[in-house]
Amino acid sequence: MNVRQDVRDASADPFGERSGQQLCVHRQILGARFRFESTSEALMQLVETAYAGLPPQQLPMAGPEFRIDLRLLPRQSRADHAEPPPVQAQSGAGLLSGVMDASNYVVLSPAQRRGLVVASQDMLSRPYHLRYELIEFAVFTLAARGIGLVPLHGACVGRQGRGILLLGASGSGKSTLALHCLLQGLDFLAEDAVFVQPESLLATGVANYLHVQGDVLRLVEDGPARHWIGGSPVIRRRSGVDKFEADLRAGHGRLAKAPLELVGAVFVCSQPAEDPAILLSPVSAGDIAARLHVDQPYAATQPGWHRFGQRLTHIGVHELRRGRHPRDSVNALLSLLQ
């Protein structure tokens, strides 16, 4: 096609509404059905990389269907090695958006259960940023708003349908603790983002990847597990910290097949315990609400937060300090799951 024809086509279809043959895939995520559509095989492959092979995580009530359109734009002039700009969140007219730049952004309509993810070709060389900051941003936001889930920055592990919510500041050791829980046979629900029904305290998540720093390998005694983590790709967080991105679907440990009913929450603390035999200490009921609000500033603004806090206070919240070995922390959590 010549340049003059390209100009005529752009004038006739300035919004790209006649984009050609659509590819489509359905995935069950966070208790809801998601329909992804795109003309780009590369973007659809990234969706499969993120969500194929996950447990269905079916919630008791039938979840709605959400639709996400993914569009690939031409390459930008930015050098491949340059980190993309951080996402800037905006809202208005019933829409939510997350914008990196003019060619990489997300627009969401929770009321219509629809989302648009736009990415430039050079972002395909940054699959972590594209998946985590654009595609997962769209999925998590639509699911939380559309199903009425409280979105939490944290991890969750459990046993026999019962779960413990792991909270705490970045760097406190939540991911390392979640890894050792996985290696010691607990059911793994989520490492970075947990979504909770406030009334039932059923927790769901996406157990696709685990992100841990290289120093965890010295405490992983299982050879195959150490090889699994050490052979995983390395990503760089916005903070500048490098982490292994280990695929949890590789068969090491058990992924929770269904949502877990929370029976407790734990604030993971990086400080060592004064007495190595006593790692857990209860948080007083009067302090729980304030600590939760500080730890989860975004979730505290969402519908359902008040009821979630009430229910969590009722079941109990603890602080967990570090023991001599991560297995000691796992054993402490097991005492809450009895």
How many C-beta atoms surround the C-beta of residue 148 within 10 A? 15
Name the percent of the chain in helix, strand, coil, to the closest 5: 35, 35, 35
Domain carrying residue 92: 19-147
Selection from 317, 304, 280 nearest residue 152 by Cα:
304
Residue 112 or residue 79, greater confidence? 112
pLDDT of residue 19: 65
Same domain, 163 and 141: no
User: What is the chain's Cα-based Rg?
Assistant: 21
| Burial of 80 per CB tally in 10 Å (0-12, 13-18, 19+) | exposed
Same domain, 233 and 93: no
Same domain, 109 and 167: no
For residue 192, which phi and psi values (nearest 5 degrees)? Answer: -125, -30
Give the three-class secondary structure for 18. Answer: coil
Calculate mean pLDDT across residues 182-204: 96
Q: How many helices (H) and strands (E) would you count in the chain?
A: 9, 20
DSSP letters for 288-305: HHHHHHHH-TTGGGSTTH
Spatial neighbors of 6 by CB under 8 A, at least 6 apart, are: none
Residue 12 lies in a domain: no
Among 108, 125, 147, give the residue marking a domain's end: 147
Selection from 71, 61, 55, 63 nearest residue 34 by Cα:
63
Residue 40 or residue 5, greater confidence? 40
User: At residue 224, what is the residue type?
Assistant: P
Dump pLDDT digits (tens) for 245-295. Answer: 999 998 889 999 999 999 999 999 999 999 999 999 999 999 999 999 999
Dump pLDDT digits (tens) for 112-157. Answer: 999 999 999 999 999 999 999 999 999 999 999 999 999 999 999 9
Residue 90 or residue 12, greater confidence? 90
Spatial neighbors of 37 by CB under 8 A, at least 6 apart, are: 22, 23, 24, 67, 68, 69, 70
Same domain, 202 and 55: no
19 forms beta bridges with none
Same domain, 208 and 98: no
Same domain, 86 and 68: yes
Among 88, 121, 147, give the residue marking a domain's end: 147
Residue 311 lies in a domain: yes
The pTM of the full predicted model, rounded to 2 decimals, is 0.92
Residue 181 lies in a domain: yes
pLDDT of residue 3: 44
Residue 262 or residue 62, greater confidence? 262
Selection from 120, 88, 124 nearest residue 238 by Cα:
88
204 forms beta bridges with 195
Give how many domains the chain has, as a whole number.
Answer: 2
For residue 84, which phi and psi values (nearest 5 degrees)? Answer: -65, 155
For residue 174, which phi and psi values (nearest 5 degrees)? Answer: -60, -45
d(CA 213, CA 243): 4
Q: Taking 70 as the threshold, does the pLDDT of residue 5 lie above it?
A: no
Structure tokens at 264: 């407790």
